[in-house]
A = this chain, B = another copy of it.
Amino acid sequence: MKKPVPSDIEIAQEANLHKIYDIAGNIGVMQEELEPYGHYKGKLSLQIMDRLAANKEGNLVLVTAINPTPAGEGKSTVTVGLGQALNKLGKRAVIAMREPSLGPTMGIKGGATGGGYSQVIPMEDINLHFTGDIHAITTANNALSAFIDNHIHQGNTLNIDQRRITWKRVVDLNDRALRQVIVGLGGPLQGVPREDGFDITVASEIMAVLCLATDLEDLKQRLGRMVIGYSFEKKPITVSDLGVAGALTMLLKDAIKPNLVQTLENTPALIHGGPFANIAHGCNSVIATKLASKLGDFVITEAGFGADLGAEKFLHIKCRAANFKPSAVVIVATIRALKMHGGQVKTELKTENVEALQLGIQNLKKHIETIQAFGLPFVVAINRFITDTEAEINWLLNWCNENNVRVALTEVWEKGGEGGVELGEQVLSAIENDSNHFNYLYDVNDSIESKINTIAKKVYGATSVEFSPSARKQMVQFEKEGWGHLPICMAKTQYSLSDDPVKLGRPENFSITIRELKASVGAGFIVALTGTVMTMPGLPKEPAALKMDVNQDGKIVGLF
C-alpha cells in the first residue's frame, strides 16, 4: 500500500482482481448459479436461496453512524474495511451494500463504493451502469407513466383524475429542470395535458419495492399494490387496476437478482438496490442481505445517513419485512464530525479542539442510547482521519472506556482490512459476549400518529410532534384506506437529530413537524415528511462530469 494514499480510482485501477467465478466459488456458489457480467461482476440466481434453505443464517452486522457532516463520515469505507478485516481474522464475511446512483456521480465528487484501501471494485463499472438494475427501474417507472397517460388518452375507463396522479417519472440524473414539468402539450393527438415531475430513479417507489421484495412473486404483488393516483371519485388507482404488474415485473426480472463483486482484498460483496434514504428506507435489498447471510458466516451491511434515520428504518422497516435479527451494530464516528457537533466551525475542523469534541460527544451518546433501546450489542468505530490529533483520539477512547462503550480505532481507508482488525475483534466479541434483546420500538398496529410519536421521541429525543392540517387529514384517509398498519418511513434532514439541519449536537426541547404523508403501499410504508425533501437533486456550477473522460485505451480518467 502506498503513502500518501493515492486517489480512489488509481487504487481501484491497480487492484488485483480475481475472476468473479473464483469469488463466487469461494462462498459456495455453483458455476451455473452465477451469470457473469464481464469478468468481474455477476448476478446470482435466486435459486441459491432454495438450495440453501436449510442453512443457518450468518450473523448480520449493521454499520450506521452519528449525524454526518456534508462530506459523509466514511460509513461505506468502514463497511468494506470491516468485511476485509473479518476475512483477515479467518471468518467467512460477505458485504451487502447499496448500488450508487449515476446522478450524484456525474454531479458532485463522491460515490458509494468506499474509499482508499477499502473499496468495492470494479469501481468504475459499479459507479456507472453496473449490471443495469437502475436502468431497468427507470424503464419500469417510466413505462408505468406512459401506461397511465395512454389510459387517460384512450378513454380513461378507470376515471383517473389527471390532477391527482401521484406517480412521477424518473431519470437517474441530477436534473433540476425536470422537477416540475407539464406534459401532454400539442393538441388532442399528444395526450391530455397535466402537471408532472421527475424524481431521481433511486427515489422511485419501484426501487423501494425491489429492495423490500422477498422473491419474484412478492415483487409482482408489491408492484400491483402501488397507488399511482386517485379517480375523480377519490378512489386510489393501483398498478393492478391498470393491468401492468406483470409487464413491470418482466422488466425487473434480472434487476431482482443480486450482483456479486469483490473488494480490493477480494472479499465478496453483494451490491444490490439503492433506495433514497429520505423518501425511502435507504438500505440495500432484502434479497441480497438474505442471500449474503446464507453464503457467509458474517454479513456486513449499512444503512443511509445516521442512526436516527438509516438504522431506525433498517430495523423497523427492512428487518421487519424480512424477519432479520441483527447480531451487532457498528456506530461510525469521526473526530471532525463530533467537533462540528460541539460547535467547531466547518472551516476549522482540521484544528485540534478537545473542548469541541467534549461537547459534541452528546450526539454520539444519543445514537448509542437509540441502539441500546433496540436491545442490540454495538461497537463505536472511530474512523481515523489524518488530521485527527493524539489528544483528540485519546480523549475519545477514554470517554468510551469510562462509559463502558466498546470502541475501536479504525484505519481502513489507509490500511485496508489490516486497519480494521481491532474493530473486527470488537465486533466478534460483542456478538459473542454482549446481550442481544432485539425489539422494535413500535408495533405496526399502533396508529400512524402513535408510531410517528414513538420515533420522534425515542429516536430523535423530541418533546412533541406537530402535524399540519393536511397531514392530519391524510392520517384519517390512509387509515380509512386500510394502510394504517404500515410501518413509518421518516423523511428528515440527516444533519440533525431534529428536523432543523442547523441544530447540531444533541438538541433538546424541540418539536418535530410532520408536513405531509405519502403512502408507498407497494413498498409497504407510510412516508412522513418533515421539512422539504429533495427527490431530484440539481447539478453544481462545475459538475464533476467536466473532468471525466476516457483515454484511447478505454481507461476512465477523472471519475473521483
Instruction: Verify if A110 is at the interface (C-beta below 8 Å from B).
Output: no
A543 and B147: CB pair below 8 A?
Answer: yes
Contacts of A167-216 to chain B: CB distance below 8 A:
171-186, 189-192, 216
Contact pattern, A 29-50, Cβ under 8 Å of B = 1, otherwise 0? 0000001111100010010000
A186 and B175: CB pair below 8 A?
Answer: no
Instruction: Verify if A509 is at the interface (C-beta below 8 Å from B).
Output: no
Q: Which of B146, B251, B548 touches A250 (beta carbons < 8 Å)?
A: B548
B173 and A142: CB pair below 8 A?
Answer: yes
Interchain nearest-CB distance for A41 vs B (Å): 10
Instruction: Verify if A220 is at the interface (C-beta below 8 Å from B).
Output: yes
A247 and B548: CB pair below 8 A?
Answer: yes
B182 and A190: CB pair below 8 A?
Answer: no
A146 and B104 CA atoms in complex are apart in Å by: 12
- Stretch from A88-96, A491-499, A550-558 that touches the partner: A550-558
Number of copies of this chain in the oligomer? 2
A178 and B171 CA atoms in complex are apart in Å by: 14
B191 and A176: CB pair below 8 A?
Answer: yes
Question: Which residues of B have CB within 8 Å of A181?
Answer: 181-185
A106 and B145 CA atoms in complex are apart in Å by: 13
Beyond the given A129-B254, A147-B539, A182-B185, please list 19 additional residue pairs across the A-B interface where CB-CB is below 8 A: A35-B37, A35-B39, A102-B139, A129-B135, A129-B251, A132-B132, A146-B177, A153-B176, A176-B190, A177-B183, A180-B184, A181-B181, A216-B550, A216-B554, A217-B552, A220-B550, A246-B558, A250-B559, A253-B550
Closest to A545 in B: B247
Number of contacting residues on A, CB 8 A?
Answer: 72
Question: Which residues of B have CB within 8 Å of A538?
Answer: 150, 153, 191
Q: Which of B102, B246, B543, B554 touches A150 (beta carbons < 8 Å)?
A: B543
A139 and B128 CA atoms in complex are apart in Å by: 10
Interchain nearest-CB distance for A154 vs B (Å): 4
Q: List 13 A-B contacts (CB under 8 A).
A: A35-B37, A36-B38, A106-B143, A129-B132, A129-B251, A135-B139, A147-B543, A155-B541, A179-B191, A181-B181, A182-B185, A246-B550, A249-B549
Instruction: Verify if A444 is at the interface (C-beta below 8 Å from B).
Output: no
A154 and B184 CA atoms in complex are apart in Å by: 28
Question: Which residues of B have CB within 8 Å of A39?
Answer: 35-36
Top-9 shortest CB links A-B: A246-B549, A135-B135, A177-B191, A247-B545, A149-B177, A180-B186, A146-B175, A180-B185, A150-B539
Instruction: Verify if A386 is at the interface (C-beta below 8 Å from B).
Output: no
A189 and B176: CB pair below 8 A?
Answer: yes
Question: Which residues of B have CB within 8 Å of A38?
Answer: 35-37, 43
